[in-house]
Amino acid sequence: MVKALLVAAVASGQGKTTITAALARKLVRMGKRVRVFKCGPDFIDPMVLERASGAPVRSLDLWMVGQDLCSQQLSQAAAEADVILIEGVMGLYDGTPSSADLARAFGVPVMAVIDAGAMAQTAGALVHGLRDYGPAEMAGVIANRIASEGHAKMVAASLREIPLFATLPKQGKSLPERHLGLVLPGEVDGIDQLLDDLAQQLTFDEAAWDKLRDIDIAPAPVAVTPRALAGKTIAIARDAAFMFLYPANLDLLRDMGATLTFFSPLANDAVPAEADAIYLPGGYPELHAEQLAQATTWQASIRSAHAAGIPIVAECGGMMALADTLADKSGAVWDMAGLLPGAVAMQPRLAGLGPQGLPTPHGVLRGHTFHYSKLDTRVEPAAYTVKHPSAIQGEAWYRVGSLTASYFHAYFPSNPAATAALFLRSET
């Protein structure tokens, strides 16, 4: 049995991540063992939440991750923690499946975050609508951007029988953002002090906390992972330009028997000589394009690996770094490694977003896409992903020799067999 909450809102931009981080840090400072999860596909918010809670943050999603693996992760957390917090994605009912669907699947009550900065009594109408539309089990409300004690009292009165669980005042300093979301925790000066300040300012009703019911999460059966990568060494790019990957992806590669080694293209590291396969995850190559263009040792080594037929899996930012050129947001054009003929250019508008699946001979490999750049290439796609739930054509998936590349970010545990095939040399 464990206390668990889904922290949700009516829309993005209400302060879910800030509130979840503040609540996690506050509970940790109260001596609680806290585990935090993020609903839906996301790379950056989990980094912030991990910093706030001091524990690894994993993804929960009924489609991409699957109910069984969600159940396994939640039951393991319940055995190790006093509190589980799950940050929702977008609005409570947005998406198929939605955050509300996840909450219902595991009997987790909802803690609604509202941005009360420009409202008072209308907060009650908003929260009652959130509760009744689903319906959803509403544990309480956390009101963000509260201006005064009087403002908080007006909001609390409007909620009627729903408790105002906590409030957070308007902030002079908030977590900074860029085009793909929040700035990474390691790039924010004084991030821990900022999180401590948020926790301190979160006015918290401990009596309401004590009234929250415990939930029981039954563990799902654990599937046997095939040791399809036993004896293989996979070299993974990891630095400020390549850091968007699911921890569960690394867990699966290890469970399949692979030895993982890490290297930094930004530091001009060569691909490790012992690599049997290479994984270039997404990230922010556009912010480091000049440095990548000057990393001649890295570029030569990845070209040599490609020429030798070593499998290379490149996702989003990883693919961008393997094109001929990359134009950054200022319009400056930089030479990249040139394994995928074509030019990548940043643009102000979102170019791709949402859950998608890649059809493979081993079944569908699920994941998502989220990018602001576009690739102009003469290479014909070997396949396309399929958008979920619309089933319309999604991202192009390219194959050039031993390279597979796409804007698609795969969630490897969704299909271990398809994942293993990506990192093994083709028999043809």
Comparing C-alpha atoms, which of 149, 180, 153 is closest to residue 164? 153
Distance of alpha carbon 416 from alpha carbon 410, whole angstroms: 11
For residue 401, the number of C-alpha atoms closer than 13 Å in the C-beta half-sphere is 15
Distance of alpha carbon 56 from alpha carbon 120, whole angstroms: 36
CA dihedral 129, 130, 136, 138 (to 10 degrees): -100
Phi, psi (degrees; rounded to nearest 5) at 71: -65, -40
* ω into 109 cis (within 30 of 0): no
Angle 192-251-351 from CA coordinates, rounded to 5°: 70
Verify whether residue 39 is a known catalytic residue.
no
Q: Are 116 and 155 in contact (CB under 8 A)?
A: yes
Alpha-helical (H) ranges within 287-422 are 289-293, 296-307, 317-320, 416-422
Question: Given 195, 316, 337, 346, which residue is catalytic?
Answer: 316
Q: Which residues are catalytic?
A: 316
